[in-house]
Amino acid sequence: MATIAVLGTFDTKGEEHRYVADLIRSRGHSVVMVDVGVLDSGASGADVGPAEVAAAGGSVLSELAARRDRGEAVAAMTRGAPLILSRLQKDGRIDGVISLGGGGGTAICTAAMRALPVGFPKLMVSTLASGNTAPYVGVKDIVMMPSVVDVAGLNRLSRRLLAQAAGAICGMVEMPVPAASTRPVIVASQFGNTTPCVTAARGILEGAGFEVMVFAATGTGGRTMESLVESGMVSGVLDITTTEWADEVAGGVLSAGPTRCEAAARAGVPAILTPGCVDMVNFGEPSSVPERYQGRRFYQHNAQVTLMRTNVEENDRIGRILAEKCNLSTGPVEVFLPLKGVSVISAPGQPFHWPEADAALFNAWKSGLRPDIRVTEYDGNINDPEFARICAEGLMRLVASAAAVR
């Protein structure tokens, strides 16, 4: 038997939440009701009431209720709910969480879910689940389920959908978790244009006894990889594909934000960095490209993805930024530079081949590095098997060196 948290902004009836709770109990599980409402919570009878949640976030429920400011109330409960849910999880009192809500409820409850570790069952039934869910999911494994109708009472459709949601969270907590591998973990960044390199390096690392987790360098993927590094479970970082910096610098759609490449540096985790796919900035269909970029060099990857070649000035800036990130390193870090192209399409003879732009990147990166950071220049393309080999072997050397010091 498991215990599942039912989290939400309950009104005086809370019939949707109680309906879900009863269904969970019918499957033999127990429930912890957590009320994060303020203005209309009433006497919800929850196991964790809104006063406790507000207090955890540094607020007083009665004062919030008296002011009748919905924005302030949501902000206060968004501060408190993550602390409450995290405490329940760390104390072993819950095994999963489900929530139902509209705009305010989704904001509060997904903030609480993001405080929980990856792998902990999380399900959010929301009126916002059919739109852009990135602000709610973040880098965590939150399952977003569309409510279809508003979370405003029970009807024949909502009963069916909420029953399926209850079944889903029960299935998640009931599913046996496979035994964890004891192999040390390596994380790697990949794009379609660096897949041959990462695939070859992954084979070498797995053959040497490592478990390799590959993340797509799509903004969210880079942030997720950094989050995993921060968790402390990673032994090494094979950051082949630092392309998200091209999007950050030039305003593309796949930026991972200004802290990309900092997690390993600050945590002292051994890392290899290469400029994989920094030759390309990602946009949507051609009409989505900003007017200021008319006349630049483009490559139509598919109907939904337009790639823009980074120019000399952008590559100089990216190189300086990557040097700054490497210089933050408190652990072993090395840089590997493929001199004949940083992607499939920047190899000689390919559409994005531009030696001067690549040279601006390489020179800025090298000149900005601390003297103790080693740079290896390879006279070939990033996807050559030999480049993959030297990167994989370089990372294994750094991991072994770090382990010897500990």
- What tokens were used for 216? 């797509």
HSE of 133 in the Cβ direction (CA atoms, 13 Å)? 21
- Name the nearest CA neighbour of 309 among 357, 275, 239, 375: 357
Q: For the chain, state the CA radius of gyration.
A: 24
CA dist., res. 388 & res. 302, Å (int): 27
Q: What is the pLDDT along the chain (406 residues), one digit of tens a residue?
A: 899 999 998 765 578 999 999 999 999 999 999 999 886 555 567 899 999 999 999 999 999 888 888 889 899 999 999 999 999 999 999 999 999 998 889 999 999 999 998 889 999 999 999 888 888 998 899 999 999 888 878 898 999 999 999 999 999 999 988 776 789 999 999 999 999 999 999 999 999 999 999 999 999 999 999 999 998 889 999 999 999 999 999 999 999 999 999 999 999 999 999 999 999 999 999 999 999 999 999 999 988 999 999 999 999 999 999 999 999 999 999 999 999 999 999 999 999 999 999 999 999 999 999 999 999 999 999 999 999 999 999 999 999 988 877 6
- Domains of the chain from N-terminus onward: 3-174 (3.40.50.12020), 185-405 (3.40.50.12030)
Distance CA 406, CA 394 (A): 19
State the Cα–Cα distance between residues 213 and 320, nearest whole angstrom: 28
Identify which of 295, 308, 297, 316 has the alpha carbon closest to the alpha carbon of residue 252.
308
